Amino acid sequence: MLFTSLGLHAQKGEITIEQDAKLEEAMEIYASYSSDSEYYTIQVGFGTYQRAENLKSQVDVDFPGWNSKIVFDSPTYRVHVGKFKTKLEAERRFIEVRQKYPASLLLRPEKSLR
């Protein structure tokens, strides 16, 4: 009977986690670094809207699944392909793209102001 009564009175515990204040700041910096706004891309060409549409269609055939898009940068439309997080990955893909589109440019991400 003594053992039975001990089992019925379980202890209740409380856990307190102390977190360094700089951890929150570090997580925000990491999130901004990992965001979609900072990635390498490859510009395969530019021109009028019609030329950009035709070029984008060709790029979609040549590099399926690479996320191509048309970007307007006055006064021309530019065709970008790919979203690469690291410079190494972007450079490897850039070599591949330049074989098909020799006038291509590797664009690096813009640094955000903090």
pLDDT per residue over 38-48, tens digit each? 789 999 999 99
Q: Domain of 57?
A: 42-107
CATH of the domain at 81: 3.30.70.1070
Residue 63 lies in a domain: yes
Residue 91 lies in a domain: yes
Residue 86 lies in a domain: yes
Residue 55 lies in a domain: yes
- 49-95 confidence digits (pLDDT tens): 999 999 999 999 999 989 899 999 889 999 999 999 899 999 999 99
Phi, psi for residue 97 in degrees, rounded to 5: -70, -40
Residue 67 lies in a domain: yes
Residue 66 lies in a domain: yes
Bridge partners of 81, per DSSP, are 42, 68
Residue 95 lies in a domain: yes
Q: How many domains does the chain have?
A: 1
What's the pTM?
Answer: 0.64
Band of residue 15 on the pLDDT scale cut at 50, 70, 90: confident
**Cα-Cα-Cα-Cα dihedral of 100, 101, 102, 105, to 10°?**
-130
Residue 90 lies in a domain: yes
Phi, psi for residue 107 in degrees, rounded to 5: -105, 130
Output the CA angle 114-39-28, nearest 5 degrees.
Answer: 35
